[in-house]
Amino acid sequence: MPSPRNIALTVHELEEGEFYWVLMEAVEGSPGDTTHVYVPLEAAHEPYATYSNALVAGVAMMRRLFGPDGEPAS
C-alpha cells in the first residue's frame, strides 16, 4: 500500500469575484525542519463565481485524483 500523501486544498481570489481552487502537495524540507512546504499539484484553469463553488470543485478534483477513500483512482 502506498504511503499517504499530504495534500492541501485552498481557494484564491485572484481578481475580485474570480475564485480558483488549488491543490498542493507537501514536500520534504530540511532534516529536523518541522514546517510544511507545499508545491502546486493541480489548479483550476477557469474561475468560479463564489468561494464555495471553487471549494466544491476542488474537492471533486481531489476525489477524481485520489478516489473517495484517498486511494489513487484507477
Tell me the per-residue pLDDT of 5-54, one tens digit each, with 9 for 90 and over: 889 999 999 999 999 999 999 887 666 677 778 999 999 999 999 999 99
Residue 18 lies in a domain: yes
Residue 1 lies in a domain: no
> What pLDDT score does 73 carry?
57
Residue 71 lies in a domain: no
Residue 74 lies in a domain: no
Domain count, the chain: 1
pTM beyond cutoff 0.85 = no
Q: Could you tell me if 23 and 42 are in contact, meaning their C-beta atoms sit under 8 angstroms apart?
A: yes
Range of the domain at 25: 7-66
In the sheet that holds 7-15, the strands lie side by side as 7-15, 18-27, 37-43
Residue 24 DSSP code: E
